[in-house]
Structure 1
């Protein structure tokens, strides 16, 4: 697949989300059944289109958010939370920045307070907006019914670019219909209407909506049941989500799905595969704590929060599922890959030739320290993953913190597991897991004289 250049542009309605997290030990005396929430802690996080942009930026992706913000404390706080990881292009807002406050007791939402009914407006030239949209590798429209997608000039600019730029439209019950030509529209079951029941009926409804909206395709999201994708011709696919033992806080999962799906289209994936990556990404978002893990009350935006960035198995699972769905072989290879060199590249190219996709299981920083010592790694896990992802032979990267990737392999179930070095399969701790799922283990020799440890010693000797 060939990705497009340029940023992912998210355009839509941004909100400031606030969580009041406390505990409840008793009910309110004058309102039986209403909990008294005590010891509440305040947590701010980006919401709406801002959350979608935040999720997209986690993958070291360039993201531009086009949204309307008020000149008020909520608008300033929202910009602070996004920080430098998301570039902001602001439009005028008539009224106050929307704020949604969840009151939560013992991990359960007991009430929500909504403030600010500001609506987007265009009071100046749209030249800057047109320039940003022209630069996009893909466009995500995150409609929260606050008026931005109703603006005639915004709709015209989006419609003009639909023929050349992939557009994902995430609709809202109080929002506007997608512009004709959108590559993919992503309603949930309630927004789709008549989408309950058998997956075949859901696929039929998705095809009907694709025809009605004149969209390339529609993916109806089904929460823990994944999504059903279909186009107007009737081609369809069901994408299941990996079961979670404790779903926890699912707030924001739809935004995570839309962000990962749009990012996949920017990477050059077709819509069906993009939906698979979206489902996997949303699952990982919920697994990592969902909205409760986003942002911070004081620290603002962290472009690499540990819970969300250290478990990037979502893309790997989506890649594996897509390859298996067409009868292909999934290959996985493991290693630290600290200071990538010719030996690494040779190993990965040979591994990729054994199947139809290659997932690299990458030792995280804690794992490398345990294996190599306190002065390693030389390169952090996110930079190592970014470099590996740039290789044409690598389809996905999965970071793990344990000394061996046994948990990753249990979930990935590769057809081939590749390890470099002078091992035999029976010496490897991963072999029983791989073979239990019907896979084979292949040990490939390394190029002589190439190793990161050797490079480190050579540099140290030279500097003495």
Structure 2
């Protein structure tokens, strides 16, 4: 049985390329007269830690004692990185460059789709401005209080002397995990574990195709050539494969649905390091990392997995019932989620016939936070609202279908005509409603705002309506038996 351990005794030092991920969100409804490109009216902006900083954030989110060494610029994005790290509980051991900007990536988003990405960067290794001696000195001082080192390489120059970093840690008996970049992996020789994705692995070791025996042979040859203890290869929908002197272990993918793979590799190496730092065998640590990957790919943008999410995923993997809850149980679950820093999103509806419009709406709602609660009208309240012929599917069936969606964490029923009482009890951080409502018209919105939360109105996807589907079905007459 896979158990999520406490990670608060794991002391992890992350060193690598620090980045800032920026997201601009807006609506687009027309094409520019200047060029065949969409015009986006920007409404919201969000900033997230990226690269090695996202690895550190993933570690901090599960409670590991986390420090970060990297390079930022003397600029506003660098200040933003410091602020985000401080808010996450990561100790920054950052060097500041006066001649290089903080590496940042700007993504323009509309209706949960990425339209363009703009990169602002200059390699820290290009002209010698990167102070290698200062970084090495800071690194060696930090090793004294470290259980595990993570080298997060994004090819920006911070890890130009990664071989020296690996050797310094291994001399002290400290395991070193490397997230690699490029094709020159000799620079990672002597590391404890390297965590490439399949594309990165095959670029160095040679393509294996669908031949698992060839994959094992290439991995073992590479492991010996590099004198590393192991390779953990992430294989997308095929899960992960761990290759070590003890043999190989395959871990099937845990994601119910893939929404965005951004930052999944950061989560994998962070949870692997946290597990090893907490005293787990590498196979058990890899299993937890696999669970974490399944969680974050169901989220939009660079994301993290919390202890509560890992525990739910472990419970689900072992056959436990998750997702369907009663009101009292949900109160306790949300208290635990908030204790782990999660942002709770809530929406409601009848969800009688689930269609693509519902899916897009729920995915957009989930992207506003860390967990999504869907409150569902019971059968009696649906009849009062929609008429005696509804619902077509009873409450149990409607809740089971919603439970199966990757975007949905918990499904809870309510019996009133509006969910106002339930919303006021749960006090979500974000209350979401679809359609042409004004925020002050949404049931329960006043309670949410009074508790410091917000009310968001999302557009429905045009062309989909449960009522319209039912009308078309009625117009087509009775269906023939199969």
Query: Offset at 1:315?
Result: 6.9
The secondary structure found in structure 1 opposite 2:200 is helix
Asked if the contact 1:138–1:166 (Cα under 8 Å) also holds between the matched residues in 2, the reply is yes
Match in the other structure for 1:311: 309
Question: Deviation string for 1:177-199 (max 9, x for gaps)?
Answer: 45333221001111112254233
Counterpart pick for 1:274 among 267, 285, 288: 285
Query: Offset at 1:309?
Result: 5.5
Asked if the contact 2:21–2:106 (Cα under 8 Å) also holds between the matched residues in 1, the reply is yes
Determine whether 1:121 maps to 2:126.
no
Gaps of 5+ in 2: 125-129, 342-370, 375-398, 405-482
Match in the other structure for 1:76: 79
Quick one: distance in 2 between partners of 1:366 and 1:155? 54
Runs of 4+ off more than 6 Å: 1-4, 363-366, 376-380, 399-402
Quick one: distance in 2 between partners of 1:379 and 1:104? 27
Determine whether 1:52 maps to 2:87.
no
Quick one: distance in 2 between partners of 1:237 and 1:378? 33
Match in the other structure for 1:240: 252
Query: Offset at 1:126?
Result: 4.0
Quick one: distance in 2 between partners of 1:364 and 1:192? 42
The secondary structure found in structure 1 opposite 2:309 is coil
Gaps of 5+ in 1: 295-306, 322-329, 335-360, 384-398, 412-464
Match in the other structure for 1:256: 267
Quick one: distance in 2 between partners of 1:314 and 1:165? 31
> What value does the CA root-mean-square deviation take over the aligned residues?
3.9
Match in the other structure for 1:23: 27
Match runs of 1:145-294 below 5 Å: 145-151=155-161, 155-162=163-170, 164-173=173-182, 177-193=186-202, 194-231=207-244, 233=245, 235-245=247-257, 247-287=258-298, 289-291=299-301
Match runs of 1:419-458 below 5 Å: none
Asked if the contact 2:263–2:303 (Cα under 8 Å) also holds between the matched residues in 1, the reply is no
Question: Deviation string for 1:23-51 (max 9, x for gaps)?
Answer: 3323334443x332233422111000000
How many equivalent pairs are there?
A: 334
The secondary structure found in structure 2 opposite 1:150 is coil
Quick one: distance in 2 between partners of 1:371 and 1:159? 47
Query: Offset at 1:118?
Result: 4.1
Cα distance change of structure 1 residues 382 and 23 upon mapping to structure 2, 3 Å threshold:
closer
Match in the other structure for 2:116: 111
Quick one: distance in 2 between partners of 1:182 and 1:255? 17
Cα distance change of structure 1 residues 368 and 203 upon mapping to structure 2, 3 Å threshold:
same
Cα distance change of structure 1 residues 286 and 62 upon mapping to structure 2, 3 Å threshold:
same
Cα distance change of structure 1 residues 195 and 168 upon mapping to structure 2, 3 Å threshold:
farther
Asked if the contact 1:228–1:239 (Cα under 8 Å) also holds between the matched residues in 2, the reply is yes
Counterpart pick for 2:17 among 5, 10, 13: 13
Quick one: distance in 2 between partners of 1:114 and 1:173? 19
Match in the other structure for 1:89: 93
